[in-house]
Amino acid sequence: MTRLSGRLVIATHNSGKLWEMRELLAPYGIDTVSAGELGLPEPEETGATFVENAELKARAAAQASGLPALADDSGLCVDALGGAPGLQSARWAEIGPGGPRDFAAAIEKVEAAIRATGAEPPYRAHFISVIALARPDGAVESFEGKVDGTLVFPPRGTLGFGYDPIFLPDGLKRTFGEMMTAEKQAIPADGSPALSHRARAFQAFAKACL
């Protein structure tokens, strides 16, 4: 795939994801605009996998804008819940169908669901992110990042977004909710894996496309 240059649409209406993606892209001098800023509608996420959802969001934004588009689909997968909330991670936070999202309530829902299974800690889980790049001509490519860890209750930290306050990456003593974005999203200069799932997916994307 041809290396990226010029303007890029970040195909999200999620302010947290938008912030993280812009921070990751900043060192490359890529001019970005979000799907929300362009007034593009959010496509229905009908894919059966993170890859399918990321690619359909990227394709929709590229076709609507006439620009290359970058989309992320990500989620929290909890072992005790058979991988849930997984693809439904954002929907678990919705207040009513298609309504605003309350991740504090979603975290309580995750905890209650785990308790109901009778599972004992540590509660194993992983975050996964798939970044897809689509071009107006229909070409699309996707890149995956994953980070393993455990869930902690009560939540810890007010940084980050989503389920970050309950996710403790393996080998660390602070949750994602206790880390500044710059730390969580840092790309190691030596090529070793980044800390977060989204940064790991971005590493693969950057190597191929930037």
Q: Quick one: fold of 7-209?
A: Maf protein (3.90.950)
Which is catalytic among the residues 72, 73, 79, 148?
A: 73
Domain residue limits, the chain: 7-209
Residue pLDDT, tens place only, 61-84: 999 999 999 999 999 999 999 999
Catalytic residue status for 73: yes
How many Å apart are CA 79 and CA 205, to the nearest integer?
27
Question: For position 6, what pLDDT does the model report?
Answer: 76
The first and second tokens of residue 48, run together, are: 């059966």
Residues 4-49 pLDDT 10s: 767 899 999 888 888 888 988 988 888 899 999 999 998 988 999 9
AA letter at 65: S
User: What is the rounded radius of gyration, in angstroms, for the C-alpha atoms of the chain?
Assistant: 17
Largest CA distance in the chain: 52
Distance between CA 200 and CA 210 in Å, rounded? 15
